[in-house]
Structure 1
Amino acid sequence: MKHTPLPEDTTDRRFELARVQTAALVIIAFAVVLFLLVQARFILISLAVAIILFSLTADIISFIARQRIGPVRIPNWIASIVALLLIGAALLSVTSIIAAQVNTILQITLAYAERAPDAIAALFAWAGADTQAAVLNSMRTIELSGYLRGAAGGATSLTQGTVLVILFVGFLFAERVWFQTKLLNFTGSPAQAVRVGRIISSIIHRVNYYLLVKTGISLVTGAMTWGLARAFGMEVAMPLGVITFVLNFIPNVGSIVATGLVALAAYVQFGDPWLTGVIFAIAGGIQFVNGSIIDPMLMGRALRLSSFGILLSLAFWGAVWGVPGMFLSVPIMVMLLVVCSHVQALRPIAILLSREGLPESEGLLDRDTARDLR
């Protein structure tokens, strides 16, 4: 019996139907993943932070495990326990410091909230008394109590998240011993396992380098902001320094917000537009030099990320996970860039995410990652 071919229009209809079904499945899958990201945000944020901390300390554990006490080498499990205790102590210390600073900032905010409406309304005095009165009435309608309660609640959840992060890091240390065996069994090929291991190593090195450089630059920027505020006799020098340090981890937007907060605090305290302008210019100069000149020089080619892609990642993860998502947006984007660079079907995404449209090549996996960071 002869096979009768389908009419051309029927084939085209089936092809279009398959495309529509594929697009619908992609949209449904994206919606489900987005729903899970939002609903499990607390656990996922804690897990992401734990993975970053684990990657930062993995090399330290290997270094400790290579040391000898006389003829005896330190076992890997002892090195992991020591590292976990150090991480736990450091996290709890940092959490207590941040909680104390949050309480200080809340008290200062309450004190400044009484003076802020009059100070901001005075900026519109040139537009007439009616405009100034309208701005003053609008500012007085803003209720800060809700925001302050949210900040206090965030400090409480920070402590809970710290405990969860320590638990996650402990489990990751426990699984570290069997990682290579699992990777080999998962890929089913020694060569493929080595390749996947190199990709993971590339991600870890680039994220670690970004965090170390960003921490150093943020420390310098926060210290310089604190020195600027102290030099002009501002009452909130230490909180401004701490806030500047924290906000500098948020790409692009964080430095702008930090500079605006310094200027706003100066105007509320002094009420002098010219002095506020000088403080604003100096604070902006500090952010520009550290963020736009020194930062790119130290980062080198380690983070060949598109500026527009960083903004999109910042907006997406900020909408999904809030402020913690903004802090994690760049490490997540680095991970996506490296993974997409080595998966042929996803390489167009890596081209869009990279700065010059030149994502990481396969040959870079065989090179020392430190050479690419310079």
Structure 2
Amino acid sequence: MPYDHPPQDDSTRRDTNRLQTGALIIIAFAVVLFLLVQARFILITLATAIILFSLTSDVISFIARQRIGRFRIPNALASLVAMVLIAAALLMLTSVLLAEVNTVLVTTLSYTERAPSAIASLFAWMGEDSEMAVLNALRSANVSSYLRSAAGQASNIMQATVLVILFVGFLFAERIWFETKLINFVGNEAQAARVGKIIASIIHRVNYYLLVKTVISAFTGALVFLLAKAFGLELATSIGILTFVLNFIPNIGSIVATFLIALITHVQIGEAHITLAIFVISAIIQFVNGSIIDPMLMGRALRLSSFGIILSLAFWGAVWGVPGMFLSVPIMVMLLVVCSYVPGLRPLAILLSREGLPETEQMLDQPIEHDLFGNERR
């Protein structure tokens, strides 16, 4: 008589399925993480190109709808003009950034000899032994090799810029077919329209975030430039530009910019009271712009959890480095909107949202407008 295995009950079968599903999720996450790290250069440039394309696609559509008498601006002409302007702006910004990096590196080399003593003096309050330990550690560091490495990394910016321009150009060339491709891909016009509204919501929120962040960062960079100029710092222009750029990194960027200007001041001037004054004034500027003006303008436009922003910043910074920090908030906005409309992922959207109230299905059919301070009117 053959041996019969006892049948598995439903609970055992469910536990096995959950175990298999969990293992598959872990494996899939590991594979995706591996691909994100290995293809980081291509993926970073592609993500940047998509964001630039989304920033200008609505403007192109608006221009193409305008009429000059009986003449209507062709969509192809509007796309070509936008492409030329984007390419010129990216190349100009890259050239300015590389020039400022070169200025900073050259000036830093001139400060290499006195910088260790100036930095070590900041630890004098901890005792002479601590000051000497910091001084010896700084002198043992090969600053020149670090600077050459930084210069080599900066040269990759131009390659990335050219690749971003190519990506944006091909996106512009195919933008007129996006709607047709979406309908054929989904296979249902109603579902394609829903997906299109979700994409439009993502573009709207990312564009609004970048617009407000650019205005606030430019204002902060200008104030810090005037502060550095008032105290006669040699790198006033570079400090202002770096402050503008670093403020796109949420939370951490403003802190780094504040300590950077204080460090440069102490190395150049060497007066503790002047360094403290610049540090305090710069910190006040960053606090007012980042904690008062920025939230007031953003309003509830993003609905992002502060803790979620920190997690996104840490994750993408670990995966893609500094570029990942710049892209962390736009990526989190995309995840929040997508998870809001996928029933199985809605719990994740609740965790990512600030008040635990992500978007609902009804919001897709309601146009989103903002007043001057970023408060939503529906």
* TM bin (shorter chain): over 0.9
1:306 is matched by which residue type in structure 2?
S
Can you list the C-alpha shifts for 1:21-71, whole angstroms capped at 9, x where unaligned? 111111110111011111111111111011000011011211221123442
Distance 2:125 2:202 in 1: 54
Q: After the TM superposition, which of the residue ranges 168-177 and 147-156 deviates more from structure 2?
A: 147-156
**Aligned equivalent of 1:251:** 250
Distance (whole Å) between structure 2 residues aligned to residue 133 and residue 371 of structure 1: 56
Using the TM superposition, give the Cα deviation of residue 149 of structure 1 relative to its aligned residue in structure 2, in angstroms.
2.3
d(CA) in 1 for partners of 2:198, 2:123: 56
For 1:271, the equivalent position in structure 2 comes to: 270
Paired position in structure 2 for 1:63:
62
**Aligned to 1:350, what secondary structure does the other structure show?**
helix
* 1:37 equivalent in structure 2: 36
Q: Give unpaired runs (5+ residues) of structure 2.
A: none
Structure 2 matches for 1:176-215, cutoff 5 A?
Answer: 176-215=175-214
Hey, which bits of structure 1, 4+ residues long, moved more than 4 A? 4-8
Aligned residue pair count: 370
Q: After superposing the two structures, state which structure 1 stretch, 12-21 or 51-60, moved more.
A: 12-21
Quote the residue 1:121 is aligned against.
Answer: 120
Distance 1:126 1:299 in 2: 41
Whole-angstrom CA distance in 1 between matches of 2:324 and 2:61 = 30
CA RMSD in angstroms, aligned pairs only: 1.7
Give the C-alpha shift of residue 322 in structure 1.
0.6
The 5 Å alignment of 1:144-223 reads 144-223=143-222
2:233: which partner in 1?
234
Q: Which position in structure 2 is the counterpart of 1:360? A: 359
Q: 1: CA distance between counterparts of 2:127 and 2:287?
A: 35
Q: In percent, how many aligned pairs have the same letter?
A: 69
Moved more, 179-188 or 346-355: 179-188
Distance in 2, Cα, partners of 1:120 & 1:199: 51
The aligned counterpart of 1:49 is 48
Structure 2 SS opposite 1:123:
helix
SS of corresponding position for 2:369: helix
Q: CA deviation at 1:235?
A: 1.7
Aligned to 2:107: 108
- Structure 1 distance, partners of 2:367, 2:197, is 11
After TM superposition, give the deviation of residue 113 of structure 1 in Å.
Answer: 2.5
Secondary structure in 1 matching 2:110: helix
Q: Which moved more, 1:356-365 or 1:87-96?
A: 356-365
Task: Output the amino acid matched with 2:234.
Answer: E
The CA distance in 1 between the partners of 2:65 and 2:31, in whole Å, is: 45
CA-to-aligned-CA distance 1:164-185 (integer Å, 9 cap, x gap): 1111111111121111111112
Deviation at 1:120, TM superposition (A): 1.7
Paired residue type of 1:199: I
Q: How far apart are residue 115 of structure 1 and its match? A: 1.6
C-alpha distance after superposition, 1:295-330 (max 9, x if no partner): 000001111111110010001000111100000000
SS at 1:178 equivalent: helix
Q: C-alpha distance in 2, partners of 1:336/1:46?
A: 19
Partners of 1:278 and 1:347 lie apart in 2 by 48
Distance in 2 (CA, whole Å) between partners of 1:299 and 1:218 is 13
SS in 1 for 2:111: helix
Distance 1:147 1:369, change over 3 A: farther
What residue ranges of structure 1 are gaps of 5+ in the alignment?
Answer: none
Aligned amino acid, residue 221 of structure 2: G
| TM superposition shift of 1:157 | 1.0
Quote the residue 1:300 is aligned against: 299
Question: 1:339 corresponds to which letter in structure 2?
Answer: V
The one-letter code matched in structure 1 to 2:342 is V
Which range moves more in the overlay, 304-313 or 361-370? 361-370
**Which amino acid in 2 is paired with 1:191?**
A
Alpha-carbon deviations, 1:201-223, whole Å to 9, x = none? 11001000100110010000000
- 1:240-295 CA deviation, whole Å, 9 max, x = no partner? 11110010000000000000001111111222222211111100000000000000
The residue aligned with 1:327 is 326
SS at match of 1:177: helix
Give, in angstroms, the shift of residue 7 of structure 1: 4.2
Which amino acid letter does the alignment assign opposite residue 315 of structure 1?
Answer: A
Q: Measure how far apart 1:124 and its partner are.
A: 2.9
Cα deviation, 1:48-97, whole Å, max 9, x if unaligned, reads: 01100001101121122112344232221111111111111111111111
* 1:46 counterpart letter in structure 2: T
One-letter code of the match for 2:95? S
User: Aligned partners of 1:133 and 1:150: how far apart in 2?
Assistant: 27
CA distance in 1, matches of 2:20, 2:65: 55
Q: Give the residue type in structure 1 aligned to 2:216.
A: I
Structure 2-normalised TM-score?
Answer: 0.94
Partner of 1:287: 286
- C-alpha separation in 2, matches of 1:239 and 1:365: 43
Residue type of the alignment partner of 2:369: A
C-alpha distance in 2 between matches for 1:33 and 1:40: 10
1:14 Cα deviation after fit: 3.0
Q: How does 1:9-20 map to 2 (within 5 A)?
A: 10-20=9-19
